[in-house]
Amino acid sequence: MSALREEVRERYAEAAKGAGCCGEECCGAFYSADELSQLPHAARLASLGCGNPVAVADLHEGETVLDLGSGGGIDVILSARRVGPDGFAYGVDMTDEMLELARRNAREAGIENVSFLKGVIEELPLEGESVDAVISNCVINLSVDKPAVFAELARVLRPGGRIGVSDIVAEDRLSPEERAARGSYAGCIAGALSRSEYEAGLVAAGFEDVTVTLTHEVVDGLHGAIVKARKPR
């Protein structure tokens, strides 16, 4: 495990124990009152993301959805409710403490059509062409090998499948060094791709209809963003 990955894992393990936040620069109230009312208190406290991917993923009844870096399970639980009993929601996380918290939160919420799997997003523990949609909440920017992540998304998605993720994205004017100066990897800043890098990476992995929409500024030159793309049929 790389030093950066271990730094992220330790940060999120501590967050799971103390229900912390992914740095002040990443937190915000991104969920509606109705969505929050569907979640256990511990899941609400363990929200570490920078957006609400469930709101933009256009999930439908009966679909299978995968959440990358599922943390305390908030987006998996909401996705499972959205796809209904005929659908299924997977969460993948590399942190034992987060997996334990997520499973506990799902049981408390009475959600059964979920499974939380241990793994890294660069090497997903799912079969190829097994999901209809992939969501993620401020996690892809933490990866030290984003081309591998994009390749894995293309592998696990069924033809016509889509991604709808919230992430931190840099303006094209910022160099990698300038991004790193604005925050740590575990704080969701240093690993951010630029807008054009994100688009190019998804296209290189075979995706089409790629859009990166900036939604709110986090720090100078870095923004919360909604990223969408589709695997060709």
Q: 102 or 41: whose pLDDT is higher? A: 102
The structural domain count of the chain equals: 1
206: left (phi over 0), alpha (psi -120 to 50) or beta: left
The amino acid at 23 = G
According to the model, what pLDDT value does residue 23 have? 39
- If you average pLDDT over residues 128-149, what whole number do you get? 94
Does residue 115 carry a pLDDT above 60? yes
Q: 130 or 219: whose pLDDT is higher? A: 130
Q: Residue 152's pLDDT band (boundaries 50, 70, 90)? A: very high
Share the mean pLDDT of the chain: 84
Question: Between the CA of residue 55 and those of 16, 143, 172, what are the distances in Å?
Answer: 24, 23, 26
Containing domain of residue 129, as a range? 3-230
Of the candidates 121, 127, 124, 38, which has an alpha carbon nearest to the alpha carbon of residue 79?
Answer: 38
CATH number at residue 39: 3.40.50.150
Burial class (CB in 10 A: 0-12, 13-18, 19+), 119: middle
Q: Residue 19's pLDDT band (boundaries 50, 70, 90)? A: very low
pTM value?
Answer: 0.82
Q: 23 or 85: whose pLDDT is higher? A: 85
CA 22 to mean position of chain CA atoms? 13
